[in-house]
Structure 1
């Protein structure tokens, strides 16, 4: 029997039938034919290429495989993505960064061919059933992606923002983290204004783009709310896909970068503060509870969002006064462009009620933590 026929028979048996015995039967076919390994890998590359055509990106595939399967499957999909990369057309710096961030694709020593074949078939079964996603990459939507950062080095402002947020995450002193985060948001807002003014006077103004940011368990709802607040404060819009574990953020490239940086940093700070708050609760005789954590993160997101918006508005007003220009028409036109792009990508969206926010102590501690992590120069809100 030819190697192609072996793989075809295995696929017919396992990929279109979810029964466990079907998977075992197909794995036995592949395990008995070592010559089929190369053909099996080539089919995997085809599955990856098909995922790209359906709007998926490298980070998306790794995320969904990690959520649904196990470490061996993650290594396998990373290896498939690397194998497919030389065949792909250039897709921009964000895509290249995702390729660079792939987990180690080197497979550990196999215990037996049957187990390995079964894991590969489980992975291919998942890849085959992935739904189509909204395209993010220029050329796949018929419009130019936002930001125009192809080939441009990272700005000094973004480098400073990264450094400030890294220090805020590392310090054990809430007041220092507060000051560092405040300075970072101030720089983000001013950087956004600078990019908006440059684009407004450019021969070919930028168009808004989009990116996906993972929203990982546990407590995904509260984390999605935090991401939405960060996006809103930085002139972006976010749409959460709960089943697939990510939010799609729409905005101009400089603002998208700010959202990615600030959300990641605030999440690190929130989880560190939550750990300390839980320790204090346990010292007072209360056990750790799921509702405490959910309420803590929900309150943190709510309070941080209020402060982010206030800090961004203050910094934008200061930037407009310093430049002696009227920023309102420029920012308004960009907001319209972002809204139009969002509506084209997501013609229908629904709202979700945040569940599990019922712990008063968690809400109080989350609000207090967000006060420490405030990101503006103004005094704390009453």
Structure 2
């Protein structure tokens, strides 16, 4: 007699077609099916945690490949996984992602979990089984990725602890102020006001990063300030164009990127304070780009869909190119205006070499992405105009 676990595995490896497998689970007593399905989800997620996936990343890719409810099942799997470990032994970055997702043990027991899901979401049993089984198929298809944050249950090295503590990151209170200023810049309809808010946010980030570099020059920086990496989500549509914008922002902040389109993220390599600035600035510029694009784009409709898509793609390409040009100029101006620029140059060159070595160790083989086509002159011109109007301070390097 075939066990429930064997039936699940047969569906995942393709020896039984999906609908037949789902039908077989539907007619099997829930007392036999439910614990096995829940255990299979938890085991699949645990495998991916050990394989380098972080809570927010797995939540994003499941939401992208599946349904929002399946991403919620991942959040519950995060909570179930964490119950095995004392909170004090889990990397703070892992915990922060779990907390952001709202991971908590809201259900009574694993034995009743699927029944409680059905009641919570007002679904029938077949729909719940379908959600879980198709989630398992999504999880089974995901490959391991580089371990950037130690997963729960992994021995944490002193360097990991230093990174988790954020010794080289922007101060938490400073980050909160930067986020608040950028939120105001994104929400205002007055370009001059947005410019003021964004300039102040960048000034704060710039001051912190230059101070860190100067500490290296003066021999006062902690030995634990080393390059790290962070994966930043790049959502569809127009992923390639958005990845180009992220790369432009990263290069201006002396970071390097590797885009993984099949997994919907870009890995950004650099020092933590710089990566923080890249993350915040990219998010803000993306909001500004979408807002400007919505104002400038031609009317849609069936007849205009191709034109609209070409416009949007060309707009984002131009926006990324022009932002890159503006940021490169700001980077050079900031360095020239810095105190003791001659002393900073060797340490900045050394830091760049460390970042490159870290990236090459993680990704020893990469392929240069092809540039995006520009099929709309209207979109290109509008994108460059929007980039010229985007809120950036003059004479400072973003995040430096």
- Work out whether 1:93 is the aligned partner of 2:105: no
Match of 1:241 in 2: 260
CA contact (8 A) 1:47 1:127 kept: yes
Match of 1:188 in 2: 205
Classify 1:114/1:347 alpha carbon distance in 2 versus 1 (closer, same or farther; 3 Å): same
Match of 2:111 in 1: none
- Work out whether 1:54 is the aligned partner of 2:51: yes
Question: In 1, distance between residues paired with 2:159 and 2:207?
Answer: 25
1:55-74 map, 5 Å: 55-74=52-71
Match of 1:210 in 2: 229
Classify 1:111/1:158 alpha carbon distance in 2 versus 1 (closer, same or farther; 3 Å): closer
Q: How many residues are aligned here?
A: 369
Match of 2:385 in 1: 368
CA contact (8 A) 2:331 2:395 kept: no
| Residue aligned with 1:101, SS | helix
Match of 2:78 in 1: 81
* Partner residue of 1:305 out of 324, 334, 341: 324
Note the residue ranges of structure 2 that are not aligned, 5 or more in a row.
Answer: 107-116
1:2-81 map, 5 Å: 6-17=3-14, 19-28=17-26, 32-81=29-78
1:35, distance to aligned residue in structure 2 (A): 4.5
Does 94-103 or 119-128 show the bigger shift? 94-103
CA contact (8 A) 2:259 2:267 kept: yes
| Residue aligned with 1:274, SS | helix
Match of 1:126 in 2: 138
Classify 1:317/1:99 alpha carbon distance in 2 versus 1 (closer, same or farther; 3 Å): farther
1:301-380 map, 5 Å: 301-321=320-340, 326-377=343-394
CA contact (8 A) 2:241 2:317 kept: yes
1:374, distance to aligned residue in structure 2 (A): 4.5
Give the TM-score taking structure 1 as reference length. 0.87
| Residue aligned with 1:349, SS | coil
CA contact (8 A) 2:212 2:221 kept: no
Q: Could you give the per-residue CA deviations for residues 96-152 of structure 1, whole angstroms, max 9, x where no partner exists?
A: 221122167874334322221121111112212211111212578988359745177
Give the TM-score taking structure 2 as reference length. 0.83
CA contact (8 A) 1:190 1:319 kept: no
Q: Could you give the per-residue CA deviations for residues 172-205 of structure 1, whole angstroms, max 9, x where no partner exists?
A: 0123223332333333232211123335523524
Question: In 2, distance between residues paired with 1:69 and 1:155?
Answer: 34
- Work out whether 1:254 is the aligned partner of 2:276: no
1:19, distance to aligned residue in structure 2 (A): 2.6
Q: Could you give the per-residue CA deviations for residues 81-106 of structure 1, whole angstroms, max 9, x where no partner exists?
A: 11112325745333222112216787
Classify 1:195/1:120 alpha carbon distance in 2 versus 1 (closer, same or farther; 3 Å): same
- Work out whether 1:263 is the aligned partner of 2:263: no
Classify 1:305/1:233 alpha carbon distance in 2 versus 1 (closer, same or farther; 3 Å): same
1:355, distance to aligned residue in structure 2 (A): 3.0
